[in-house]
Amino acid sequence: MLSDPERKEIEEELRLLTPREAGCLEALKVVQKHRGWVPDEQIADLAEVLGVTPDEVDGIATFYPFIFRKPVGRHIVSVCDSMACWVMGYERVFHALVKRLGVSWGGTTADERFTLLPVSCIGHCDHAPALMVDGDLYGDLTEEGIGEILERYK
């Protein structure tokens, strides 16, 4: 069930939108902000609020890579796996992350601190290879610099 604060924020987001279903992504973001991810139960609740089917909401939720459909760590490490990053050393950086975190794609560290996710492009090709941690962008990555970046996030 959606909480009262979630419902209030969602209604505020939907207030200016016609039709209401145009606010699906914003509604998903509200739930994720409050819960850290979007559980199945909230997909059904959002569908009712938006006047659409649960499958329609789930289709949008699963399309966007930054809407999380299962629990994630406190910090999301999104590694760009575009062609530019591959050419500029993505594999070295990826293997350094896997070694450092002890997880691979989609994995969350045992302490629930980090979740490692691929992203098709983060638009930082001129500084490839690149990654983001919680929306903070890092480029010109080296294996040695990975530890320094991760230490910034407690």
Domain(s) of CATH 1.10.10: residues in the chain: 4-63
CA of 73: how far to CAs of 53, 119, 128, in Å? 29, 16, 25
Residue 42 pLDDT grade (very low, low, confident, very high; cuts 50, 70, 90): very high
CATH of 75-151, one of 1.10.3720.10, 3.40.50.150, 3.40.30.10, 3.20.20.140: 3.40.30.10
Averaged pLDDT, 137-143: 96
Fold of 4-63: Arc Repressor Mutant, subunit A (1.10.10)
> What six digits make up the tokens of 81?
């796996």
pLDDT digits (tens, 9 = 90+) for 63-78: 988 899 999 999 999 9
Specify the pTM: 0.82
Q: What is the DSSP letter of 44?
A: H
pLDDT at 21: 86
Domain(s) of CATH 3.40.30.10: residues in the chain: 75-151
pLDDT digits (tens, 9 = 90+) for 84-131: 999 999 999 999 999 999 999 999 999 999 999 999 999 999 999 999
pLDDT digits (tens, 9 = 90+) for 76-93: 999 999 999 999 999 999
Q: Is the dihedral of CA 110, 31, 132, 62 positive or negative?
A: positive
- 3-class DSSP state of 101: helix
Q: What is the dihedral of CA 23, 72, 81, 28, to 10 degrees?
A: 0
